[in-house]
Structure 1
Amino acid sequence: MSKVVLRESANEIPAAPRGQRDVALGGDRSAAGVEMARVLRTAPFRMALDASGAGIAHWKHDPLHDVVEPMSHHVIMAYNGTVQRMERRSGRSIAIGTFRPGVVIIIPEGSTSRWDIPKPVDVVQLYLPQTTLKRVADEAATGSPAELLERTAHPDPVTSRLLLSAADVLEGHEALDTLFRQQLMDLLTTRLLAAHTGSPSAILPTRGGLSPKTLLRAIERLRSDSDADVSLAALAADAGLSRFHFCRAFKDSTGLSPHAWLRQHRLEQAMNMLRDTDAPVVSIAATLGYSSQTAFAAAFRKLTGESPSDWRRRAR
């Protein structure tokens, strides 16, 4: 399973994971998380990355007047702050836009530009490798090259809403957060191919669920309490499908995405343990794979509206 790095806000700029440092030191382009930490001069409020540096980061940073150097990922941003005018210079090109909720910003991999943003910024960023963009394009059979366009405060409420909601779904649970990040990346990549390339692609929806045997095998993997790999890649490979088609077939069969199914399963496990045992909440959190009691309690409250302790008292 890909390693996920989860980090809440801190006072120091985080050191890059090894995979990201290797990219930064081994070529002319830094991993996106490395370059963003340098130019924003702060730590992310929340971050979930794999070893390659691909993933999601939520930043709250001060006004910016600096050059963003070439990066080894495409960076797609959704803005969540106060309305403000900004300026972006790429070579001789100058783009003046208005940051507001519902717009997206795209920095294609390898590009560089100077940014002048006069007010503080609240933004969620997706770091997308070109290999992922090409894979999804191939799996979806778009038949067109996967080259993202540069966008500056471009209206796209669909992409913006998907990306902004992502930061609130991260739960401090490695398997859940990995599965969610992978699903979101494929979903957003599909959207980007349809709306933000030089030749936008019409991606036709696929129909038809998994066979009963294949569905049962996928559910057994998701329910396993062992160290079974429940990444999207492993689930899809076990079913003999691409990630793109597996997600759609699984949801067609169950009504839920793989991430939502596993999230619901973990909630049911938590409820059974709270109701039927006297195990401390901190032990239940550890047994279910949460990074801390706080992360477990926040995830439980998000789904039930109650803390684990309050739910236990009411359920008994």
Structure 2
Amino acid sequence: MTRPVPRDPLEALLVAPGANHDGAPSVERRRADVEMARVLKTAPLQMASDPTNGAIAHWKHGALHDVVEPMTDHVIMTYPTGVQRLERRNGKSLAIGTARSGVVTIIPAGSSSRWDIPGFVDVIQLYLPQAALAHIADEASMPAPGDLLERTGHPDPVVSGLLMSAADVLEGNAALDHLFRQQLTDVLATRILAEHTGQSSTFELVVGGLSPHALRRAIERLRSDCDTDVSLAVLASDAGLSRFHFCRAFKESTGLSPHAWFRQQRLDQAMNMLRDSDASIAAIAARLGYASQTAFAAAFKKLTGETPSDWRRRMR
């Protein structure tokens, strides 16, 4: 669900106990979205979250000269546009990097540094709970994760590209967006575990698609009108697989990821309703679970190149 960062000043007091990244005595940690709002002194352009998978936020902010206090989540970020100098100080240690497309910056949960950024930054951030990272490592049969490495403008086009796709794909449809975030978080977490923990992390990939029964059941759920049926956890449980391995097996069976298949199914539904009924665009948007007619029209045009109204006129 897309939501603004809470503006209530009491929200900043909602903190959790924890240890410093360097093993120092216990300190209070803020939630990542709360700390980012405090430091960046603005609200995100877009933010989507759920309790178990963390959150994805898109920010545009000005110069920053402040200390980022310890947070409850790992923060992984990339930069869709622009070039900007980054300076990060932790004690006597100084890291200098450049914010640009294709690089990532990582602030591990519990760490604290002073940041000096002289000008405008366009940034997409993933807030990843340690519990989610450990769960995904277990599902992918990878070693239990240690501390993430601090990164400042570190080249990683794979993680950068995945994060940038997050801002492009959020469509204002709760079921679609939730499925996408679950799928994206799993892929991002396996990459982060492999590249940004300072330890060798590999996993064995189980080959083969879904059984005919499991595939049929998954498709039945994806075609259901009940949004809870399309949870990645529910789909994977039906197939007797982890979320990670279900996504791989589903794509091998269908040629599409669960999110891409579900999005195509919703597009097919929209086309049938536009062509075969006189329902208004707003009614179709609501029927398909979009937050607004505008969100539905933007998603439809992204996939077809036409607005729903133009497509309907052409097909009749």
Please give the TM-score of this superposition, normalised by the length of structure 1. 0.92
Cα deviation 1:257-284 (Å, max 9, x = unaligned): 1111110000000000000000000000
Q: CA deviation at 1:53?
A: 7.7
User: 1:24 is matched by which residue type in structure 2?
Assistant: L
> How far apart, CA to CA, are the structure 2 residues paired with 1:122 and 1:240?
41
Q: CA deviation at 1:16?
A: 7.0
> How far apart, CA to CA, are the structure 1 residues paired with 2:6 and 2:223?
34
Aligned to 2:99: 99
User: 1:151 is matched by which residue type in structure 2?
Assistant: R
> How far apart, CA to CA, are the structure 2 residues paired with 1:250 and 1:31?
34
Q: CA deviation at 1:100?
A: 1.7
Q: How many pairs align?
A: 305
User: 1:138 is matched by which residue type in structure 2?
Assistant: D
User: 1:45 is matched by which residue type in structure 2?
Assistant: L
User: 1:309 is matched by which residue type in structure 2?
Assistant: S
Q: CA deviation at 1:93?
A: 1.4
Q: CA deviation at 1:116?
A: 0.4
Aligned to 1:132: 132
Q: CA deviation at 1:21?
A: 5.0
- Identical residues among aligned pairs (%): 67
User: 2:117 is matched by which residue type in structure 1?
Assistant: I
Aligned to 1:15: 6
Q: CA deviation at 1:200?
A: 3.0
Please give the TM-score of this superposition, normalised by the length of structure 2. 0.92
Cα deviation 1:116-154 (Å, max 9, x = unaligned): 001100011111111111112112222353431111110
Question: Is the CA contact 2:53–2:185 (under 8 Å) kept in the aligned structure 1?
Answer: no
1:176 aligns to 2:140 (yes or no): no
Q: Taking structure 1 as reference, are residues 227 and 126 closer, same or farther at Cα in structure 2, changes over 3 Å only?
A: closer
Aligned to 2:14: 24
Question: Is the CA contact 2:64–2:116 (under 8 Å) kept in the aligned structure 1?
Answer: yes
Could you list the runs of 5+ residues in structure 1 that have no partner in the other structure?
Answer: 8-12
Could you list the runs of 5+ residues in structure 2 that have no partner in the other structure?
Answer: 18-27
Cα deviation 1:152-193 (Å, max 9, x = unaligned): 110111111111121010000000000000100000001111
Aligned to 1:155: 155
Q: Could you say what secondary structure the match of 1:229 adopts?
A: helix
Aligned to 1:119: 119
Q: 1:116-265 alignment to 2 at 5 Å?
A: 116-265=116-265
Q: CA deviation at 1:248?
A: 0.7
> How far apart, CA to CA, are the structure 1 residues paired with 2:119 and 2:268?
44
**Which stretch shows the higher mean deviation, 108-117 or 26-35?**
26-35
User: 1:133 is matched by which residue type in structure 2?
Assistant: L
Question: Is the CA contact 2:46–2:59 (under 8 Å) kept in the aligned structure 1?
Answer: yes
Aligned to 2:296: 296
> How far apart, CA to CA, are the structure 2 residues paired with 1:184 and 1:74?
16
